[in-house]
Structure 1
């Protein structure tokens, strides 16, 4: 019997789709027949695509999403089993990079457009983005402990910072799924939208970022990240150090109509 079209294997070279236009780079995980589980090649390709978009002078914002029906669960466990890997599933050093770290290393604003189930490594990736826009069909879970592994892409640091330590412990201990509306209520995501509007809403947010982007945008995002966990005094001291070495681009301000032209 012929294979059904919706179960056909996505060719390796098409498992990551990248589009750039209107100063926005959109990166889509495209392995729907495997629920966007990420092979080592996909992880490496995603890291490379993020670095490329971050270095592209024609890009001001990046969107990361998945091909329906899910966002991703992270590592492809079948590939791990086939390789005979043991130990921590997130730190297979054999030619595999950490995509969550690549997200955190991205200086340009990075939006996760979560279109469906987002679990474990996928949740680490989403939480490593600057913003999360979720479909009403999205749901979130941490199943590391349930399958007997320890997270390696940052879950123990990312999740409590997003939802608080008590909720993070509950999610990891129970492996329960958090629906999109609850994720919004507990501060895990920025917005929840009807599923058919997800792409448009993520692009609208990206366009707002593009319109407001200046040389200070990346530095401001970095201040939030670098100041996280510091006392107010230390975070303010960090801000003072950055501002003390910052050169205001008055020509850019004048072009935008935000100040007097440079003398």
Structure 2
């Protein structure tokens, strides 16, 4: 029998790498020659990859990272410039919002920041549940400096991470926050040697996978939903969800949990 011809693999197909091992999915932005600037194709692929990992019963935690030397600065500005203005003669077809895709992912999502993480890249990192930073990581919000308004959640996410005054300073100055300062101001969870970044992220993901039940992502989403609420409002939300929660006994049995485990 003659095999059906396969579509050739193109460089664009390799711009996003996805690997699943030991219940951990690792998604890597793989355009190092452009410092992982994200084309429309890449943004759509990130959205699709996160949705696929979220739906995969063999995945308990997800790591999002970039190929050295950078995490990402956001959209590919050269592609944007080449599109031309909106309207006749221009191509302004929209791509998926990767930061929103991160926030909509129900499974614990770790951002492993390996280098420069600015503007749209920072919005993506802030949209993840945890940030592990290499000692080479540096963060900045340059939206205002280049004359644009954020669209992926910066003004909502950054002050929640570092406080309103620091968020305003980062935006107004567009200065870089180095890894150790990022740890000090609460922007990241951990700072580790560059060579140990993925090992550390995988260890954290492994701890999550070992402890995961259906209640894990549900509880993390309560943190998100309650952000900004008063204590009484947040407590009422927690109680409402707890009253309606049904333990997945089949899942607990499959994982050997719930009986002293």
What is the alpha-carbon distance in structure 1 between the residues aligned to residue 249 and residue 11 of structure 2?
Answer: 49
Cα distance change, pair 50–36 in 1 and its aligned pair in 2 (3 A): same
Residue of structure 1 equivalent to 2:208: 209
Cα pair 1:28 1:65 within 8 Å, conserved: yes
Could you tell me the TM-score, scaled by structure 1's length? 0.90
Cα pair 1:113 1:199 within 8 Å, conserved: yes
What is the alpha-carbon distance in structure 2 between the residues aligned to residue 104 and residue 178 of structure 1?
Answer: 23
Residue of structure 2 equivalent to 1:40: 40
Post-superposition offset of 1:85: 4.1
Deviations 1:96-120 (A, max 9, x none): 0100000000000000000000000
Residue of structure 2 equivalent to 1:69: 69
Trace 1:47-66 onto structure 2 (pairs within 5 A). Answer: 47-66=47-66
Post-superposition offset of 1:215: 1.2
Deviations 1:89-147 (A, max 9, x none): xxx96140100000000000000000000000000000000000000000000000000
Count of aligned pairs: 247
What is the alpha-carbon distance in structure 1 between the residues aligned to residue 201 and residue 85 of structure 2?
Answer: 37
What is the alpha-carbon distance in structure 1 between the residues aligned to residue 41 and residue 117 of structure 2?
Answer: 20
What is the alpha-carbon distance in structure 1 between the residues aligned to residue 26 and residue 77 of structure 2?
Answer: 26
Residue of structure 2 equivalent to 1:173: 172
Unaligned runs of 5+ in 2: 1-9
Cα pair 2:83 2:92 within 8 Å, conserved: no
Cα pair 1:250 1:259 within 8 Å, conserved: no
Unaligned runs of 5+ in 1: 1-9, 87-91
Of residues 230-239 and 240-249 in structure 1, the stretch that sits farther from structure 2 once superposed is 240-249
Indicate the RMSD between aligned Cα atoms, in angstroms: 1.8
Cα distance change, pair 246–136 in 1 and its aligned pair in 2 (3 A): same
